[in-house]
Structure 1
Amino acid sequence: MTVTTVSIRPRLPRLSRPSALAVIGILIAAFLMMFLILPVIQVIYVAFLDPRSGALTLDNFSDFFASPLFRESFWNSLYVAAMSVVFATLIALPLAYLTTRFDFAGSAVIQSLGIIPLIMPPFVGAVAMQLLFGRNGTVNLLLNDWFGFKIPFMEGLNGVIFVESIHYFPFILINLSASLRNIDRSMEEAAQNLGASGMRLFRRIVFPLAMPGYIAGAALVFIKVFDDLGTPLMLNVKAMLAPQAYMRITGVGINDPMGYVISFILIAFSVLSLWLSFLVMRGRDYATVQKGGGGLARRQLSPWERVAAWVVILVILGLVLAPHIGLMLLSFGTIWSFSPLPDAFTLKHYGTVFSQAGQYITNTLLYAGGAALIDILIGTAVAYIVLRTGLPGRRWLDYLSTAALAVPGVVLGIGYLRMFHGVHLPGVGPLASWWVMIMIALAIRRLPYALRACMAALQQVSLSLEEAAENLGASKARSIRRIVVPLMTGGILAGFVTSFATAAVELSATIMLVSGERDAPLSYGIYLFMQSPSGRGAGAALGIIAVIIVALATYISQRVIERDSHLRGARPTGSH
């Protein structure tokens, strides 16, 4: 007689009475309600509020669309976001396809270099791009000398599109490359057997099968660009929604309804773009028949194809590295005006930074470090509650924690100003201008990143390990502290570093909440320095420091993830 062993996955218990985890869940929900949901609701409510009568109305939206400036800002934001997706696609698609389809030296390096823009916020490199590609920048000066014409790379909205495309294309590159690697090779082979090849094969088979990755990346690019505040401000492009929201609240006042109407539109389009990306994918089958899909059949390039591929790749990588090169030159240059390169080089800008701007760096380490710590504490707790308990409403806790992805930083800052501007704490003063609010805003903005890292780490920890510990007499708290958390260390550290690195260069929320230079973080300091030609060298030096901080954090995060994966792979598994 054959005995079949059936493996039954342990059912997560539904807690019948209040527990420590339930209390923690309630406290986290209260924190998120106070510092995320209620400020956003406040913004939305004021957008529909008549400032004179206090009644709900749509007149604010009528006034918005009746204004030529606001209509122009609305269409400009849509145009810039859409065109940034187009140009980001033109950059990412060749890199993704060439490095996943063909075997040639350097493909791994190219993929690595392709994500370099993510370590520099777009507003930091915007001024450097102006000096390289502006009307009197390096490229146009050379074009004018050699060929007698200039190209308006950085004129008006073109500059915003150019900078944003170069910065955000890695979102498409990463997601599209992953999709191309997971395409079912048998689908491609079947199409080839039916006569499809070349561009027809790519257009009809390969790209449609990679559409989930592309749509995910394109949606992220659209949202990021549509909501971005720093880059338009740095390039002096004010006729866009995010800059208009900032200027209305800081210029006209906290009670100006137009700032809230714009904020509502920013939120609505963030949610709408995510919803549309979901609709595009719904009802379509992209599943692979074999595990992992096998990926595209890789082939060797002919000599001429290799030359053409490298030309395309080098041009793209030149654009990718341009902001970093320009920022480096600006940070060491003395005078850089109407010349292809700075007139001379100096270290005085770095001396200025360390003598005058040390507080910015200290504040950044404090704010970003504190925000990252908050994120991993909440992320670890939420991950455990969602994945390991049967608490009612646990999924809503996950949704609440992730909701910050749809809230632009400028909107969150406006929400804090509106909600807390009349609240005073003894010994602190107005709550909205307290430096702790900057830390909380950064924590809320980066919580989704830390949460995903913690959830991924916990999903790799077997539930049987906890059960074994509890069977040996360990309490739930002890098993979490001694078993679960140590095994999640890699994911927790990765979440901490990711939150820290991205919070360190956040401008949209902090620019709304900084009450004075004494409390300003590094990103705000860069913005202040860049406002005058004489301060751009020091601003660039501060930008280089920011890039180094983010690059080191990114490197550490990657090393931690690789080390954790290696240890998991090396850990012996027992038979049951």
Structure 2
Amino acid sequence: MNSLTTTLPAPPRVSRGFGRDVGKGVWLVAGLIAAFLLLFLLLPVGTVIYSAFVTELGQPTFGHFLNFFGQTLFRESFVNSLQVSVLSVFFASVIAIPLAYLTVRFDFRGATVIQTLGVLPLIMPPFVGAVALQLIFGRSGSLNLVLNDWFGITLPIMDGLTGVVFVESLHYFPFILLNLVASLRNIDGAMEESALSFGCTGFRLFRRVIFPLAMPGYLAGASLVFVKVFDDLGTPLVLGVTNMLAPQAYLRITSVGVDDPLGYVISVIMICFSILALWLAARVMKGRDYSTLQKGGNSLQRRTLTPGMSLLAYGWILAVLLVVLSPHIGILLMSIAKVWSFSVLPEAWTLQHYSTAFNEAGGMIGNTLLYCGLAAGLDVILGTAIAYLILRTRLPARQWLDWAASAGLAIPGLVLAIGYLRLFKGLEIPFTGTLVTASWVMLMLAYAVRRLPYALRSCYAALQQVHISLEESAQSLGASRLSTIRRIVVPLMAGGILAGFVTSFITAAVELSATILLTSSESNAPMSYGIYLFMQSPAGRGPGAAMGVIAVAVVALGTYLSHWVVERNASRASARHAQP
């Protein structure tokens, strides 16, 4: 995850005699990839940026931005989005930093289970968790009902922007947790021992030595949290908060139309701040040395907590996990609750919601599998091809393909969808009479473009582990480049390709920002859109929760299968290397 905020490392030098000549096939593949990225990423985003700086007659202007900042609502939305994003990063850090440090630094029983449970929020759409959290922490939720009965007080946890920060912090803190755990594990334990020998202990040791060395991982996760929160559309809409940038962009485009310049101004601001967050994370680390002399073999030594400290640590972690997993608990209870209103727990139970979900939204489940499956398949094909061009050829300016593909990470889904609506406005699919923007293909392509960076990194890492001598040997025996790729490279990359496929699939399955704008009818809608529609009315929240549980189950199963296959391939590889 750490590498998600930066471009890929410089490709290793291609050995002599391999990939020296850039054949027609290489140029053709590179051209097709460049054309895809140009048509479905660069041009739509460029159209959005262009539309924000020109008048209706095509004359350059800054008047749209002056109009934007001249209106109180838009200034308020801009400030609110910044505040929510920064506060979400802060509270996500409060959750993730102690959790990562305790489970890596100390001899903790169940550390792996704790870290696994800490990642679960990522597999649930945040807007689904927002509804569940309202039932638990809202004004009339379970917690406030108990507090009112016992102490006569209520806590405004889910009110307005506070509720948005609460939901976003709980949902996105795993980005920091995953990156920080990886960084902490790579710290050379000798540096800690040196600090201890000079009397640096306790919190001072963490503040002066350990955390600064883990800073790359923390900044990578924090920048991702900022970008994701700044981009999120579903959570504010579900909570009824519209005075933020993403909801305002959505409302302007859907109410005024795709010709509204203020919608494009908001989109440009969202792009700029997303890129700025990723750039700042890289900039802070630039020129500083975080490397250690040893890795893995002499990592931070696990230390034993005293009984008192152990009790406090386990108590804190249990309380944190209970809050973190409350959306999952709430959505599960909601999916089987017949009546749940103004009560601590549901008053009656039923499985009818699941029947309704399958009967009324069975097509949406199939659509999700189709769209996300095609998008993930396209991602691993493009990711494998780009990784091969970078690592195995001497194609001029091949690094630009990586930069262009990675740009999707900094482009909000809402902005990409607006770009598609603007760029392909009025175009029809040949021989069908169907508008391009009304086709489910646009939605699938939006999923693919936004998830391509994830698949690219998995494929790149997998190809790095395939020694080039294997390909050279095959070609020296007369195998063509295509045959070598098909019979040697791709099979050896299978684990990384599968990991990239599953990562793209599960993240696309919970996408709402692009989905809500590009879905033209319920017959073409995926599950995320169906869940959002159900959640709009109290009567539909039961079936919506059932669909949410199904979505979480699908994503969790896919995640488990990917880990299982990758670990099995790694075990087989280790066994082969161990053979004499």
TM-score bin (small chain): over 0.9
1:572/1:104 CA distance change after superposition, 3 Å: closer
Match of 2:310 among 298, 306, 326: 306
What SS is found at the alignment partner of 1:10?
Answer: coil
The residue identity in structure 2 corresponding to 1:521 is P
Which residue in 2 is equivalent to 1:370?
374
Q: Which amino acid aligns with 2:574?
A: G
Structure 1 Cα separation of the partners of residues 552 and 126 of structure 2: 11
Aligned length: 567
**Contact 2:18–2:472 at 8 Å: present in 1 too?**
no
1:490-537 CA distances to partner (integer Å, 9 max, x unpaired)?
A: 111111111111111211111111111111110000000000010000
Q: How does 1:79-478 map to 2 (within 5 A)?
A: 79-292=83-296, 294-425=298-429, 426-478=431-483
Post-superposition shift, 1:12? 6.5
**Cα pair 2:475 2:484 within 8 Å, conserved:** yes
Contact 1:185 1:293 in 2 (8 A): no
Q: Structure 2: how far apart are the matches of 1:223 and 1:367?
A: 24
How many angstroms does 1:289 deviate by? 2.0
Q: What CA distance in whole angstroms lies between the structure 2 residues aligned with 1:137 and 1:322?
A: 12
Residue 538 of structure 2 corresponds to 533
Partner of 1:10: 15
TM-score (norm 2): 0.96
Point out where structure 1 has 5 or more consecutive residues left out of the alignment: 1-7
**Structure 1 Cα separation of the partners of residues 446 and 20 of structure 2:** 32
Residue in 2 that maps onto 1:67: 71
Aligned to 1:105, what secondary structure does the other structure show?
Answer: coil
Distance 2:559 2:412 in 1: 23
1:423-572 equivalences in 2 (<5 Å): 423-425=427-429, 426-572=431-577
Secondary structure at the aligned position of 1:49 is classed as coil
2 CA distance for matches of 1:428 and 1:242?
32
SS for the counterpart of 1:509 is helix
Deviation per CA, 1:232-276, whole angstroms, max 9, x where unpaired?
A: 111111111011111100111110001000000000001001111
SS of the residue aligned with 2:347?
A: coil
Contact 1:349–1:541 (Cα < 8 Å) also in 2: yes
Tell me how far 1:38 sits from its aligned partner. Answer: 0.1
Quick check: 1:54 aligned with 2:58?
yes
Q: Name the CA distance, whole Å, in 2 between partners of 1:120 and 1:298.
A: 32
- Contact (CA 8 Å) 1:442, 1:503: kept in 2 or not? yes
In the alignment, the residues of structure 1 paired with residue 433 and residue 129 of structure 2 have an alpha-carbon distance, to the nearest angstrom, of 36
Mapped partners of 1:377, 1:356: distance in 2: 34
For 2:401 and 2:483, the matched residues in 1 are separated by: 24
> 1:443-473: CA deviations, max 9, x gaps?
1111111111111111111111111111111
Provide the residue aligned with 1:4 in structure 2: none
Query: Matched residues in 2 for 1:572 and 1:279: separation?
Result: 40
Contact 1:134–1:155 (CA<8 Å) still a contact in 2?
A: yes
Aligned to 1:5: none
8 Å CA contact retained: 2:158, 2:164:
yes
Q: Secondary structure, in 3 states, of the residue corresponding to 1:22?
A: helix
- 2:422 is aligned with what amino acid? R
SS at match of 1:525: helix
How far, CA to CA, are the matches of 2:336 and 2:425 in structure 1? 41
**Offset from partner CA, 1:267-304 (integer Å, 9 cap, x none):** 00010011111111111111112234723222111111
* CA 1:456–1:12: 2 relative to 1, 3 Å: farther
Normalization by structure 1: what TM-score?
0.96
The answer as to whether partners of 1:12 and 1:388 remain within 8 angstroms in 2 is: no
Rounded to whole Å, the distance in 2 between the matches of 1:345 and 1:129 is: 19
Q: 1:12 to 1:373 in 2, by over 3 A?
A: farther
Bigger shift: residues 28-37 or 197-206:
197-206
CA distance in 2, matches of 1:289, 1:424: 59
Provide the rounded CA distance (Å) in 2 between the counterparts of 1:401 and 1:55. Answer: 31
| Distance (Å, rounded) in 2 between the aligned partners of 1:459 and 1:564 | 16
Contact 2:107 2:304 in 1 (8 A): yes
Give deviations 1:348-392, integer Å, cap 9, x for gaps: 111111111111111111100111111111111111111111111
Structure with bigger RCO (C-alpha 8 Å, 6+ apart): 2
Amino acid across the alignment from 2:279: W
Q: Name the CA distance, whole Å, in 2 between partners of 1:21 and 1:180.
A: 40
Distance 1:423 1:228 in 2: 29
Q: Offset at 1:428?
A: 4.2
Q: CA deviation at 1:422?
A: 1.7
Shift of 1:107: 1.2
1:132-151: CA deviations, max 9, x gaps? 10011001111111121111
Please, which moves more after superposition, 156-165 or 295-304? 295-304
CA separation in 1, counterparts of 2:217 and 2:356?
Answer: 44
Shift of 1:104: 2.5
Instruction: Tell me, in whole angstroms, the C-alpha distance in 1 between the residues paired with 2:17 and 2:229.
Output: 41
Query: Contact conserved, 2:14 with 2:391, CA < 8 A, in 1?
Result: no
Q: Does 1:76 align with 2:80?
A: yes
Structure-2 separation of matches of 1:517 and 1:28: 32
Q: How far is 1:17 from its partner?
A: 5.6
Instruction: Give the superposition deviation at 1:573.
Output: 7.1
Q: Distance in 2 between matches of 1:500 and 1:49?
A: 37
* Contact residue 144 and residue 150 of structure 1 kept, 8 A: yes
The one-letter amino acid paired with 2:115 is: Q
Give the unaligned 5+ runs of structure 2.
1-12
Shift of 1:94: 1.1
Displacement after TM superposition at 1:202 (Å): 1.3
Choose 466-475 or 538-547, whichever is displaced more: 466-475
8 Å CA contact retained: 1:48, 1:56 = yes
CA RMSD, 1 decimal: 1.4
SS at 1:387's partner residue? helix
Shift of 1:13: 4.6
Q: Following the alignment from structure 1 to structure 2, what is the Cα–Cα distance between the partners of residues 428 and 322?
A: 47
Q: CA deviation at 1:438?
A: 0.8
Between the aligned partners of 1:127 and 1:92, the Cα distance in structure 2 is 23
2:399 maps to amino acid: R
